[in-house]
Amino acid sequence: MAPRVLITGITGQDGSYLADYLLSLGYEVHGIARRVALEDPERHFTRILHLVDRIQIHSGSLESYPSIFSIISRNQFDECYHLAAQSFVAESFQDGFSTMNININGTHYVLAALKELQPECRMYFAGSSEMFGKVHETPQRETTPFHPRSPYGISKVAGFELTRNYREAFGMFCLSGILFNHEGPRRGFEFVTRKITSTVARIKLGLANELRLGNLEAKRDWGHAADYVRAMHLMLQQPEPDDYVIATGETHSVREFCESAFAIAGLDYRDHVKIDKFFYRPAETDLLVGDASKARRVLGWQPTYSFSDLVTEMVQSDIAALEPNRRNEKSERLSAGGNNG
């Protein structure tokens, strides 16, 4: 019988790549989505529209223990990937209460319901390099102390500790992936990489001229989400549960990302990028770069995308997505008699 998996956050970037990957491995894939998303799939299911006929979506909310309990009570799962979260760091400064509520209680609900109903189900928690925050050493590894710099980072440390505690106290097979930034064409538009590549596309096609950004000197270890979901799966296939850092080991500044993305489109970022204090954060994680040697050694995992592959794929995908719109706009202008060359 095909192994059955539950993914929270299946409509997000990582959830959609993970669903693609697990379907390719022959899993029966179930996901949780909020009622509001189920009512408007065209808008909320953009990343999973291509596989919606091959997965089962359950209505539920991370803010409600009964809804999580009910979904887990109706199906026997072999693996559970808990990816759902309020994951935008900047937003966590605006509304730390919602971030804490969803990220900490949501994780606790999943762990508690699994313990109650299916303690044998293996569970993955999406930890984050934001837990390292004001870093104590470089590169960061599994033994690096945490020093989170945002309500989001604090909530992820709490989720990490909850997961470790369920493992140690109740013997459950639950673990955390400490994933560094991971991107791709399905990334949300509010994150800096997608904000940059989508605006590069608009500038390239003459639909915009300016890109307003905050701190260009922040450095991140950027990998591709499709590579990182393979690591999540590998972690749950090990004989013993353990936590792993997943990273490329390379770091680049936001400025370098801009330079590269604009250059791919034949543009110079200095002609378009404007600094806007609005996008600065009250406390910043200045430098992240991970040491994934444990994942390489134990899981046999390594990334397949280079930094340049990642930026190129994102820019090209955003340009390709906009081109039909531009053609339509042009033909509408032509049919309205507005052919001014």
Q: Is 89 in the site for ligand G4F (CB under 6 A)?
A: yes
109 tagged catalytic: no
CB of 337 to ligand G4F, least distance (A): 40
Query: What is the pairing mode between strands 79-82 and 56-59?
Result: unpaired
* Rounded distance between C-alpha atoms, residue 211 and residue 206, angstroms: 13
CB of 3 to ligand G4F, least distance (A): 27
Q: Closest by alpha carbon to 256, among 226, 209, 290, 213?
A: 213
Q: Is 190 in the site for ligand G4F (CB under 6 A)?
A: yes
Residue type, 33: A
CB of 61 to ligand G4F, least distance (A): 19
Q: Is 155 in the site for ligand G4F (CB under 6 A)?
A: no
* Cβ contact 307:248 at 8 Å: yes
Tracing tokens 């699994």 back to the chain, one arrives at 114
Residues 48-87 that bind ligand G4F (CB under 6 A): 87
Query: What is the pairing mode between strands 79-82 and 4-8?
Result: parallel
Q: Which of 81, 152, 244, 269 is catalytic?
A: 152
x/- contact string, 104-133, with ligand G4F (CB under 6 A)?
------------------------xxx---
152 tagged catalytic: yes
Q: Which of 87, 92, 128, 176 is catalytic?
A: 128
Q: Is 284 in the site for ligand G4F (CB under 6 A)?
A: yes
166 tagged catalytic: no
Q: Is 90 in the site for ligand G4F (CB under 6 A)?
A: yes
Question: What is the DSSP secondary-structure string of 128-179?
Answer: EGGGT-S-SSSSB-TTSPP---SHHHHHHHHHHHHHHHHHHHH---EEEEEE
CB of 295 to ligand G4F, least distance (A): 15
In 3-state terms, the chain is what percent helix, strand and coil (to 5)? 50, 15, 35
* Enzyme catalytic residues: 128, 130, 152
- Rule CB under 6 A: which residues touch ligand G4F? 87, 89-90, 128-130, 180-181, 190-193, 195, 213-215, 218, 220, 254, 279, 281, 284, 288
